[in-house]
Amino acid sequence: MEDLYKEGKLRAAAVANFTAEQLQFLLDNASVAPAVDQIRCNPAIRNRETVDFCKSNGILPMAHSPMNFSLAAMKNAPEVAAEYKALAGRIGERYGKSWGQVLLRWDIQHGICAIPKSHSPERQRQNIDIFDFELSPEEMAMLY
Ligand SMILES: NC(=O)c1ccc[n+]([C@@H]2O[C@H](COP(=O)([O-])OP(=O)(O)OC[C@H]3O[C@@H](n4cnc5c(N)ncnc54)[C@H](OP(=O)(O)O)[C@@H]3O)[C@@H](O)[C@H]2O)c1
C-alpha cells in the first residue's frame, strides 16, 4: 500500500480494527501514516482509547457498526441499547430527530465519521439528515 500510495495510485492508505498500540507501531515503522482507522464504535463499545489516539495523531476515527450495539458482544448490551435509545429519543424530540439521528450527530460532534447501513430508504435519508441541528454540551455528556 505504501508503494501504491507513493506511485499516486492510492489517494490514502487506511486500516481497520487497529488498536492504539497497533497504530503507534505503524506510525513508528511505516512511511505512510494511515488516514483512517475504521473501528467498532457505538454506545455499548465506545473504543475511547483508540478514538482519542486517532484524533491526537491526525487519523480519522471511522465508526463501523454505529447502530448495531444491541448485538454487541457485551452482557449488558440489551440494557445499554434500550436505555440509550430511550434517552437519545427524548433528546431527539427537542429537535424533531430520531434516536438514530441523535446517535450519529453525537459521533459527528465527537469528530467520528460513522458509516451506518440501512435497507430502508427512509432510514437512509434520516442517516444523512443530521447537519441541521446541534447537541448541546450537556446533551453530549448525557449520551456518554
Ligand atoms: N471493518 C470492519 O471490521 C467492519 C465490521 C462490521 C461492519 N462494518 C461496516 O460498517 C457498516 C455498518 O455496519 P453494520 O450493518 O454492521 O452496522 P450498523 O449500520 O450500525 O447497523 C445496521 C442496523 O441498524 C439499523 N439502522 C440503520 N439506520 C438506522 C436508523 N436511523 N434508525 C434505526 N435503525 C437503523 C439497520 O436496520 P434497517 O436496515 O432495517 O434500517 C440495521 O439493522 C457496513 O458498511 C459494514 O460493512 C465494518
Q: What is the pLDDT along the chain (144 residues), one digit of tens a residue?
A: 999 999 999 999 999 999 999 999 999 999 999 999 999 999 888 899 999 999 999 999 999 999 988 766 666 667 778 889 999 999 999 999 999 999 999 999 999 999 999 999 999 999 999 999 999 999 999 998
- For residues 69 and 80, the answer to whether their CB atoms sit within 8 Å is yes
- For residues 90 and 127, the answer to whether their CB atoms sit within 8 Å is no
Question: What is the β-pairing status of strands 113-114 and 60-64?
Answer: parallel
The reply to whether ligand 1 has any atom less than 6 angstroms from the CB of 116 is yes
Q: What is the pLDDT of residue 74?
A: 60
- For residues 107 and 41, the answer to whether their CB atoms sit within 8 Å is yes
**Which residues are paired to 8 by β-bridges?**
none
- For residues 95 and 70, the answer to whether their CB atoms sit within 8 Å is no
Q: What is the pLDDT of residue 31?
A: 94
Q: What is the pLDDT of residue 72?
A: 61
Give residue 106 CA to ligand 1 midpoint distance, Å.
Answer: 16
How many structural domains does the chain have?
Answer: 1
Q: Is 15 helix (H, G, I), strand (E, B) or coil?
A: strand
| CATH number, domain with residue 29 | 3.20.20.100
The reply to whether ligand 1 has any atom less than 6 angstroms from the CB of 67 is yes
Gap between the Cα atoms of 135 and 144, Å rounded:
13
Distance of CA 43 to the CA centre of its chain: 10
Domain that holds residue 13: 2-142
Gap between the Cα atoms of 104 and 70, Å rounded:
16
Give residue 119 CA to ligand 1 midpoint distance, Å.
Answer: 9
The reply to whether ligand 1 has any atom less than 6 angstroms from the CB of 43 is no
The C-alpha R_g of the chain, in whole angstroms, comes to: 17
Angle at 133 between CA 56 and CA 94, to 5 degrees: 120
